[in-house]
Copies of this chain bind each other. A is one copy, B any other.
Amino acid sequence: MKKTIETLMNHRSVRKFKDVELTKSQIKTIVSAAQMASTSSFIQAYTIIGVTDKEKKKKLAALAGGQEYVAESGHLFIFCADLYRHSLIGEWENADVTPSIESTEKFMVTLIDAALAAQNAAIAAESMGLGICYIGGIRNELNEVNKIIDAPDYVLPLFGLTVGVPDQHTEVKPRMPFSMVYHENTYQKEPELLKRNLDEYNQQLSAYYDKRTQGLRNDGWSDQMAKMLQRKSRMYMKEFVEGKKLNRH
């Protein structure tokens, strides 16, 4: 039993892989595990694209911000929100499903479904001794990503998942204090309490970065978040998603 909790608690993103491709059997195990995740009303609203074509993989790595390890991993999965097959079922079964599948509610359902499946894939891979990294960077240029995988309406690429044999060992990154993330019965919103918790966490994270970078970096979580969120990134997303006929009303 303990093995699974250990796998979960030892997660770190791997960004350097050995030159070993995943076997068909490993891919099958990972995808099958993904499929066993819970799914809202059994909707199974996602599709996984496995990128084996080297040219496509290189292009996707470049679009995701030139991250070499994306091209050099053992396998690259692209997780897509997917209500395309539901739209066809609607046609074939003479059911008007359009208002439903174009709603914000179903957009949320597809995202959550895809993410639950992806995390099962990640855990399966890690339990097999492989390393993983999520690639949100593909959302930098979804129009281009979409062309590469040729996804129709109602199919939205969400993120990549690179999987492979790890060629680096990094430290586990300290998460927010338990009391910040877990509240009992009522959301704990007092700014003063948050401030105290943040002070503690900022110091802890700063010490972690300081050690990991041998003094090159020592920002806390607040700095990091403020800097990241000041940048307006991927502001085309709303329009793009609506163009895919999702999240419309």
Interface residues in chain A, defined as those with a beta carbon under 8 Å from any beta carbon in chain B = 1, 3-5, 7-11, 13, 27-29, 31-38, 40-44, 46-53, 56, 80, 84-86, 88-90, 92-93, 95-97, 99-101, 103-106, 108-109, 111-112, 114-116, 118-120, 122-124, 127-129, 132-134, 136, 139, 149-152, 155, 158-159, 172-173, 175-176, 178, 180-187, 189, 191, 194-195, 198, 221-235, 237-238, 241, 247, 249
**Given the complex, which residues of B lie within 8 Å of A194, measured CB to CB?**
85, 88
**Contact status of A5 and B127, CB under 8 A, knowing A99-B232, A111-B108:** yes
Asked if residues A53 and B128 are in contact (CB atoms below 8 Å), the reply is no
Q: Is the CB of A43 within 8 A of B100?
A: no
A9-B32, A10-B36, A108-B111 known, 11 other contacts, Cβ within 8 Å: A4-B123, A5-B127, A31-B181, A38-B134, A49-B182, A100-B233, A103-B235, A104-B247, A105-B235, A105-B237, A115-B115
A229–B86 contact, CB under 8 A?
Answer: yes
Instruction: Give the interface centre of A42, A92, A132, A133 by most chain B CB atoms within 10 Å.
Output: A42
Q: Is the CB of B115 within 8 A of A40?
A: no
Contact (Cβ within 8 A) B186 A149: yes
Residue pair A5, B33 in contact (C-beta under 8 Å): yes
> In the complex, what residues of B have CB within 8 A of residue A136's CB?
40-41, 109
B5 near A152 with CB under 8 A, answer no
Q: Please state the number of chain copies in the assembly.
A: 2
Does A112 contact B187, Cβ atoms closer than 8 Å? no
**Are A8 and B28 CB-contacts (below 8 A) given A38-B134, A139-B105, A187-B151?**
no
The docked-state distance in angstroms from the alpha carbon of A104 to that of B54 is 31
Please report the C-alpha to C-alpha distance between residue A224 and residue B124 in the assembled complex, in whole angstroms. 29
A180 to B89 alpha-carbon distance, docked (Å): 14
Please give the distance in Å from A203's CB to the nearest CB on chain B.
15
CB pair B181–A112 under 8 Å, yes or no, is no
Distance of A123 Cα from B198 Cα, bound (Å):
29
Residues in B whose Cβ lies below 8 Å from that of A4: 3-4, 7, 123-124, 127
Chain B residue at smallest Cβ distance from A101: B229
